[in-house]
Amino acid sequence: MWEEKLKIYDAIVAKCTGIERKGKTVPYTSANGHMFSLLNKDGELGMRYSKDVQKQYFEKYNTSYLMSHGAKMNGYIRIPEEMLEDLDLLAELLEESHKYVLSLDPK
């Protein structure tokens, strides 16, 4: 199950120019010292957005914050399972998340 989700995550990242997956046990993407997507141990994908975009996506995609190790990941929306088949949409969402973290001050 987790391995299948990892293949999907890798396929999404591969569709995006200039984005590279990092991490072995917890795969993630980052830019300017800010993580902007991750695949948690439960096989849930999360992407990071501004508060305004989070609110929009909570409603639009009927989702919530990503949880990881029992803690809420502030800023990250959980990508619903039924969206994992639309790699083109997910690549667009990942690129949007990437642009968001590039707008933040580098760490």
Domain extent listing, the chain: 2-102
What is the CATH code of the structural domain delimited by 2-102? 3.30.1460.30
pLDDT of residue 69: 87
pLDDT of residue 75: 96
pLDDT tens-digit readout, 2-22: 999 999 999 999 999 999 999
The predicted model gives 79-94 an average pLDDT of 97
Q: What is the pTM of this model?
A: 0.96
pLDDT of residue 104: 97
Q: In what helix (H) or strand (E) does residue 53 lie, and over which residues does it extend?
A: helix 51-60
Sign (positive/negative) of CA torsion 42, 5, 49, 82?
Answer: negative
